[in-house]
Structure formats: structure tokens, C-alpha cells
Amino acid sequence: MVGFKNFLDARGWEQAFAVYGDRRIVAIFFMGFSSGLPLALSGATLAVWMAESKVSLTTIGIFALVGIAYNLKFLWSPLMDRGRIPWLTRRLGRRRSWALATQVALMAALVGLGHSDPATNLEKTALLAVLVAFFSASQDIVIDAFRIDLLAEHEQGAGAASTQLGYRGGMLASGAGALYAATYGGWPFAYMVMAGCVCVGMAAVLLTREPEDNERDDDKGAVTSFAGQLHEAVVAPFTDFMRRHGEWMVILVFILFYKFGDALAGVMASPFYVDMGFTKIEIANVSKIFGVAATVVGIVVGGVLVYRLGIFRTLLLCGILQALSNLMFAYQATVGHDVGLLAATIGIENVTGGMGSAAFVAYLSSLCSHAFSATQYALLSSVMALGRTVLASGGGWAAQELGWVPFFIASTGAAVPGLVLLLWLMRRARPG
């Protein structure tokens, strides 16, 4: 248990920040960059290209369905957890072989998508966009598992923070960067440049050693019978999770609700800005540019807090702070159009949200067994996504019925169930 004196120890904080210089953490950053690249290229950036090609708004909206692979990735994660790629797995190891294979396939799909033409062959564009999303989700599976396998429990906070920082860097490159490239070289050139950027993640994978536990597991040989393979790939990851975590049902419900209040407010943030009279330029400058910077700060701080305080206490602190940050929106609603206050509101919300995200990813990582990390993390992240999408989808109705001030107060209260479950889990983890 870290006492108050130890918490204030300057040397301890120096060591906490020093973990970000670890070559494994640096490698995880670049893998995260590669993970963040494809999302916009099959989503927002592709939508700009389609709009330029005079594709109907209805069709552009339907194209959002190509991203369903990110919600279903747990279905094929067992294959990537236990399956072996002939020759490649023997040479590189389980994680590195799958990472390299998905990255090569992703690069090919991106080049293909760049050479499609939404104006003349929309079906081809759709197929290639689906492939990009599929290989992107597959890359996420193996990179998440790689991160978990590489790091000790006390390093998972820094690993989660590094992944998220890299991910946002990748999204920035494939968003603004791709648009710049398309402006000067055309869309095929832009997508080729983005495909080339995946090499950053490939280099990080190839320059990082396969975790020793994985090497030993791979040396044991594979189960030959179909029933044995099915059990190892599908049944074993779930039974292992339930065996190691007797309170697994509570854990899943906690994962569902931990960031519910944050998600509820976040889903209605943009309509709120417009309703308060902020211009698109003001929203872009404060919410996107300043907001991203604030999130980065929060992620780094969250990773350091996990290192210093442990996962549970960091989750509790960040959970309380991110819930209270919603009250800033309630105050903003009473004041109305005030750019300075908006900067403070978004700054506080994004810093606390980034802190909570870093701690939350570290917690999810700590729940996974190294033997089944790909499958288990994919499942847990799918539960997390369910809370941030399906449950938060009623936010518009609630805001319309309640009004802005009561809505944001209610979103603060929506965080309470997750915090109550967290306190119960903390008590179970440390009786007395």
C-alpha cells in the first residue's frame, strides 16, 4: 500500500515517468500508431472522397457499417490466439507472425482501396473498405495481445497510455495527413502514403522480441485433434477467465458501466456546442485541436498514476473526476456562448477522460491471461464498446426531454453504478 509520504516522493514520480523511455513502451507507441491509421481511411476520410465523387449522403451513411468488424473481432480472435502460420510462426513467434501477416494484408487492402473509384465502381470500393476494416480489427487483436504479453502488471498503465497516444497519432495522420496528401497528389497517392505508414508498426513488431512465455508455449506443439483445437481456441479462453475471476459477472457489468456517464455526455457534446451558438471554427479549434492535446495529457497522467497508485485506486480517482467533469457542461449550459469557458470545460473533460481511459485499458489488460490474451481482451473491449455505443444511444432522447442542465447532472449520476461496482471489486481484491 502506497502511503501519502511515498506518494509525494519525487524519486518515485521520476521513476514512474521514466517507464515511458523503456524500448518496449516506445515500440508499443509505434504499434498503436499503426492501429490508429486505418480507422479514418475506411471511415471519415473515405467519406470525404465519396462526397467529392457525388455519392449520395444515404449511401455514405450506410458505409459506416463497414466498421462492424471492430465490434465482432472477438469472433476470430481465438484463431489469432492459438493458431499458427506455417513457417512464419516458427521464425517469428505467435504474436509477431500474426502482427506481420495482418499488417501486410492491411497495406495491400489500403493500396487496393486507393485505386478504387467510388464514382464508377462503388461495389469495389465497399468490398475493399470492408477488407481494410477487417484487417485493421485483426491487427488490433494481435497488437493488444502483444502489449499485454510484453509488460508486467505494474507496467500496463504506461503500456495503455502509450498505445492510446500512438493510436491518436495514427488517426491524425490518416485524417488531416491523408487529406493533405490527396490535395496535392490525388486519392490513390494518399492511400499509398498511408499504406506506407503501416511500415512504422511493422518495424516496431520486428524489432521487439516475442514474449518468452509465448516462445515456450509455441515449443510445446499444437493440439492435433479437431475437438482439442476447438477447446483450446474457443472454450479454454472463457473457462480460464471465469476460473481465475470468480466474480466475472460483476467484472463484465462494471466494464459495461465504468465510462457510461462519460459516454452519455460525450455522445451529445457536438449538438450541445451548436445549440450554445459556437461556430464550426470555434468548435474545431477548441474541441479538436485543444481537446486532443488535453486528452494526451490525461492519458500520460493516467498511465503514471497507475504506476504509482495501482490500477484500482487510479480507476476510483479517475472515475470520480471524469464523472464530476460533466458538471462543467451543466455550468456551460447556464452561461451559454463563452469560448474561454468552453476551453476550460473541454480541457477538464478531456484530461479526466484520458486519465480514465488509460487506467481502464490497463485494468482490462490485467484481467487477461497471457495464454489467451488476444481472445480475452477482444471480448472485454467488445463489452466496453457496447457500453459506449448502445447504452449511450439514448442520450439524445434524454437531453431533449430533460434539457441541457438536468441532462448533464444526470450524466454525472450515471457514473455512480460503475463506481459502486468498482468499490465492491476493490473490497474483494483486498479484503479488510
The pLDDT tens digits for 181-198 are: 888 888 999 999 999 999
Lowest average pLDDT, out of 16-30, 32-46, 161-175, goes to 16-30
Percent of the chain with pLDDT over 90: 29
Residue of higher predicted confidence among 197 and 291: 197
Q: Looking at the predicted structure, is the pLDDT value of residue 111 above 50?
A: yes
pLDDT at 261: 87
Q: Looking at the predicted structure, is the pLDDT value of residue 10 above 60?
A: no
Strands (E), 173-243: none
- Find the mean pLDDT for residues 349-363: 89
- All three cell numbers of 129, joined, read 473498405
Condensed to tens digits (0 to 9), the pLDDT of residues 194-228 reads 999 999 999 999 988 887 655 544 444 444 444 55
CB atoms under 10 Å from CB of 67, counted, come to 17
Tell me the pLDDT band of 108, cut-offs 50, 70 and 90. very high
What letters, b where the CB count within 10 A reaches 16 and e where it falls short, cover 34-65? bbbbbbbbbbebbbbbbeeeebeeeebeebee
Q: What is the mean pLDDT of the chain?
A: 81
Tell me the pLDDT band of 393, cut-offs 50, 70 and 90. low
Q: Looking at the predicted structure, is the pLDDT value of residue 77 above 60?
A: yes
pLDDT at 20: 64
Q: Which domains does the chain have, with CATH numbers?
A: 19-222 (1.20.1250.20), 224-432 (1.20.1250.20)
Q: Looking at the predicted structure, is the pLDDT value of residue 432 above 50?
A: no
Residue of higher predicted confidence among 70 and 323: 323
381 and 145 Cβ atoms separated by less than 8 Å: no
- Distances in Å between the Cα of 80 and the Cα atoms of 316, 354, 361 are 33, 29, 20
pLDDT at 390: 65
What letters, b where the CB count within 10 A reaches 16 and e where it falls short, cover 259-275? bbbbbbbbbbbeebbee
Residue of higher predicted confidence among 264 and 274: 264
pLDDT at 1: 46
Distance, CA of 190 to CA of 392 (rounded, Å): 34
Distance, CA of 112 to CA of 90 (rounded, Å): 30
Residue of higher predicted confidence among 8 and 390: 390
Percent of the chain with pLDDT over 70: 84
- Find the mean pLDDT for residues 286-298: 80
pLDDT at 212: 65
Distance, CA of 111 to CA of 321 (rounded, Å): 43
Of 169-183, 288-302, 395-409, 415-429, the range with the highest mean pLDDT is 415-429
Q: Looking at the predicted structure, is the pLDDT value of residue 9 above 90?
A: no
pLDDT at 192: 96
> φ and ψ at 295, to 5 degrees?
-65, -40
Of 72-76, 81-85, 198-202, 287-291, the range with the highest mean pLDDT is 198-202
Please measure the distance between the N-terminal and C-terminal CA atoms of the chain and give it in whole angstroms: 13
Distance, CA of 299 to CA of 310 (rounded, Å): 15
Q: Which distant-in-sequence residues (6+ apart) come within 8 Å of 232 by Cβ?
A: 82, 223
pLDDT at 234: 62
Residue of higher predicted confidence among 268 and 417: 417
Q: Looking at the predicted structure, is the pLDDT value of residue 4 above 90?
A: no
SS3 content of the chain, % helix, strand, coil (to 5): 85, 0, 15
- Find the mean pLDDT for residues 171-177: 78
Residue of higher predicted confidence among 295 and 326: 326
169 and 36 Cβ atoms separated by less than 8 Å: yes
> φ and ψ at 415, to 5 degrees?
-80, -15
In 3D space, the residue among 354, 291, 356 whose CA is nearest the CA of residue 320 turns out to be: 356
Q: Looking at the predicted structure, is the pLDDT value of residue 254 above 90?
A: yes
